Structure 1
Amino acid sequence: MITITQVHSHKDLLYPIRRWLEGIEIHSPQQAHLLCKAIPAQCPFERDVKLFGRILFHIPPMCKLNPFYEEVVGLRFKALCYLADECGEDVTAYC
C-alpha cells in the first residue's frame, strides 16, 4: 500500500529538504535565539516606494514564493515555543 507521503515525496523534488527542515529540533536557548533572530517575523521585502511623500507603488510580500516558506516559519515557531515553554523566557521581543 502506498501512503500519501510516499506519493508526495516522489513528485516533489524538494521533499527531502522540507522533511529535514521540519525535523530540526531545538536543543538549546542559544540555538533558539539564533533562529528567532535569523528568521524574520514579517517578510522583509514588502514595502511602499515613496517619492516626495506620495506612494508610487507597493512591493508585495514575496516570501511566500520561497518553496520552503512554511517550513522556515514553522522552525521559527518551534524556536519561539522552546524559549517560552522550556526556558520560560519572554519572546515578545521577537514578535
Structure 2
Amino acid sequence: MSNSTQNNFNYPITFRRFRIDLLYPLRRWVDSIKINNEEFAHFLCNLIPCTCPFERDVTILGKTFHIPPLCKLNPLYDEVVGLRLRALSYLEGDCGEDITQYIC
C-alpha cells in the first residue's frame, strides 16, 4: 500500500510551482536604461528620493504614531534605487562631479 504523496522509490513527490512575474518586462526595461547624459543623470537624482518620503511620525490627539517606510511595497523599488545609484555613479565617475548634494 503506497502513500499518495510518495512514488515507488520512497521519494516525496514535489510539484513545481510556477511563478509568473507580470512586471518582468517593466523591470527589464528599467534595468536597461543607459545613463550617458549629465542632464539626464541630474534629472534622475532629483526625481528619485534617497529615502522613503512616506516614513514619518504623525501625532493624533496627543499620541504619536510611526508610519514605517512603505517604499518596499513598490514592486519596482529595487530597480528604481539601482537606477538612481547608476546615475550617481555616472555623475561621480564619468563626469567627476561632487554628488554630496544628492546623498542624505
Calculate the aligned-residue CA RMSD, in Å. 1.5
Cα separation, partners in 2 of 1:57 and 1:22, compared to 1, 3 Å: same
Aligned residues: 85
Q: Percent identity?
A: 59
Match of 1:61 in 2: 69
Structure 2: segments with no counterpart, 5+ residues: 1-18
TM-score of the two chains, using structure 2 as the length reference: 0.77
Instruction: Provide the rounded CA distance (Å) in 1 between the counterparts of 2:64 and 2:92.
Output: 41
Instruction: Provide the rounded CA distance (Å) in 1 between the counterparts of 2:44 and 2:81.
Output: 10
Matches within 5 A, 1:64-75: 64-75=72-83
Structure 1: segments with no counterpart, 5+ residues: 1-9
Instruction: Provide the rounded CA distance (Å) in 1 between the counterparts of 2:20 and 2:57.
Output: 37
Instruction: Provide the rounded CA distance (Å) in 2 between the counterparts of 1:51 and 1:66.
Output: 27
Would you identify which runs of 4 or more consecutive aligned residues in structure 1 move more than 6 Å? none
TM-score of the two chains, using structure 1 as the length reference: 0.84
